[in-house]
Structures are given as structure tokens and as C-alpha cells.
Amino acid sequence: MRSLNNISLGQFIPGDSLIHRLDPRCKIVCTFMLLAGLFMASEPLDFVLWCALPCLFSRLSGTSMTTILKTGRPVVFLVAVTVFINLLWTPGHEILRIGPLRVTWEGITVAVGMGLRLFFLVIFAAMLMMTTSPMDFSAGLERLMSPIGRLGLPTSEMAMMMTIALRFIPTLFEETDRILKAQISRGADFDSGGLIRRARSFVPVLVPLFVLVFLRAENLATAMESRCYSPGAPRTRLHPLRWAARDSVAVICLFSFIAAVVALDRLVLGGVRPFR
């Protein structure tokens, strides 16, 4: 049965774990470090070591591994296409030929590397969003972007737009789930037929969803205006962000881990580089 009740990519899971309590700036910086480190990985062993991070995250955040891995589900198709293209179109030592298709040793290694990179990319971004509320995330981002604001860029407006967009992700999921269920209860079938039939079957979901989204957007704009929201005006915060010692420790530990993996990659395993 089609339902959106399960935790999805980008959804915040409230909690009081160590990871939840970290400053959002710390979590954003850590995520960017992870993404940068991921693209420096070039050895199969690197990716084995990277696997330790979701496991550690699961333990420290109280989120099950199944939930973490599920967040990678939306990109499985993209990963599969990437793997397929790299597998068949990378030149090198041929190990298998099926008609015009050639599979090379280099193709296998590049395809697996790219697939894992993409998968980890999504998982790491999801780990940030699962443990950071939209409000905290945008507050952290606004503070991190404040140096750019001095150059005249509208950072607070950008942060507000991001807050609203993120705030509405779970609401939109809930609304979609409700409309989906309402149409299923009236006999709508979203799971059978060809691609075009399936796409057409979503019209009864998309039309009411668009109507609701526009209504909500209008209500939100009115509510913000009635509470004197003014773009660019200086605003204070009810809960100001505070960088604690544990945030510094988290950044240092993660930086050390990434540095160690990169050093291992460059200095010890540097000769092979099959995942480049």
C-alpha cells in the first residue's frame, strides 16, 4: 500500500541525543567536511572506513540503521543509472563483452566508486536534516553566511526562504499522504499499468495538492505580514545559538578522521587508485 508515513529524505526526527544537541553550525560544517572528504576518497578501503560513520551516527543519534539507509532510497535510480553508464563506457582492460557492450576492470571500479559516493552524499545530507530542526538549520546557515551578508547579499531573506521551504517539507508530505489515502479509499490505483497510465493516475493527487499549497502560501504570507515581518529588518532570536565545547570536539574528531583516511589513501594506498 502506498503511504508516505515512513521517514523520508530531509525529514527531521525530534530527539535529545548528543547529535541532536550539537550546534547546527557544527553539524553544517561537519556535513561539508564529510562531503569534501568523500570526493577525496579514491580507494576501496576508504569507502569501507566511511561506512563506520553512519554506524557511529546511528549509535549517537538513537536512529536505527534501517531508517538511515532508507533515506538513500530516493536516489537508488540515479545511483543505478550512474553505475550503469560508468560500467559500460569506461575504457580500460576488457574483462567481459556482451555484443557491443564492454565491461572493463576500470569501469567496475569507477562505477562502484561513483555509486557509493552518491549514496553516501545523500546519507550524510540526510543525517544532518534528521537531527537538525528546520529552524535551527536556517539559523545556523544564516550565522555561517553572515560574513557574505556584509558584502550586501540578502542572507537573512535567503535563510527565511530556506526556513519556510524546510518547514513545509513535512507538511507537504502529510498533505500528500492524506490526499493519496483519500483517493485510494475511493478506489484510485497508483500501482498498476504502464508509465503513462501511472503518471495520469496521479492527477487526482496533484490537483488538490497544488490548490492546498497555494492556499497555505497565501495564508502564510498574510500571517507573516500581520505580525509585521519586514525583509532585511534586524531580528533577535528567542533561542540564540551557542557554540559549546562538545561542538569543537566534534569538528576536531571528524577532521582528524577525514585527515587520517585521506593520509591513508595518499601515503599508504596511493599506488592503485582504482576508484578515481
> Nearest 5 degrees, angle CA 159-CA 165-CA 170?
135
Which cell goes with 219?
A: 495564508
Q: Is 56 in the site for another protein (CB under 8 A)?
A: no
Q: Is 166 in the site for another protein (CB under 8 A)?
A: no
Give the H or E element holding residue 229.
none
Q: Is 1 in the site for another protein (CB under 8 A)?
A: yes
**Count of residues that bind another protein according to CB under 8 A:** 34
Give me the least distance between CB of 219 and another protein, in Å please. Answer: 14
Nearest alpha carbon to residue 35 among 121, 95, 104, 103 = 121
The one-character DSSP state at 192 is S
Which cell goes with 169?
A: 517539507
Give me the least distance between CB of 183 and another protein, in Å please. Answer: 6
Q: According to CB under 8 A, which one of 33, 35, 62, 75 is a site residue for another protein?
A: 62
Closest to another protein by CB, 65 or 78: 65
Q: Is 128 in the site for another protein (CB under 8 A)?
A: no
Give me the least distance between CB of 192 and another protein, in Å please. Answer: 10
Which cell goes with 246?
A: 562538545
Q: Is 179 in the site for another protein (CB under 8 A)?
A: yes
Q: According to CB under 8 A, which one of 17, 167, 173, 213 is a site residue for another protein?
A: 17
Q: Is 272 in the site for another protein (CB under 8 A)?
A: no
**Restricting to residues 64-93, which ones interact with another protein according to CB under 8 A?**
64, 66-67
Binding window for another protein (CB under 8 A); candidates: 92-100, 184-192, 224-232, 262-270: 184-192
Give me the least distance between CB of 6 and another protein, in Å please. Answer: 8
In angstroms, the CA 20 to CA 131 distance is 5
User: Which residues fall within 8 angstroms of residue 68, CB to CB, at 6 or more apart?
Assistant: 54, 57, 58, 123, 126, 127, 130
Binding window for another protein (CB under 8 A); candidates: 2-10, 230-238, 247-255, 258-266: 2-10
Closest to another protein by CB, 189 or 225: 189
Q: Please give the single-letter amino acid code of residue 133.
A: S
Give me the least distance between CB of 154 and another protein, in Å please. Answer: 34
Q: Is 149 in the site for another protein (CB under 8 A)?
A: no
Chain residues in the site for another protein (CB under 8 A): 1, 3, 5-7, 13-15, 17, 61-64, 66-67, 178-179, 181-189, 203-208, 211-212
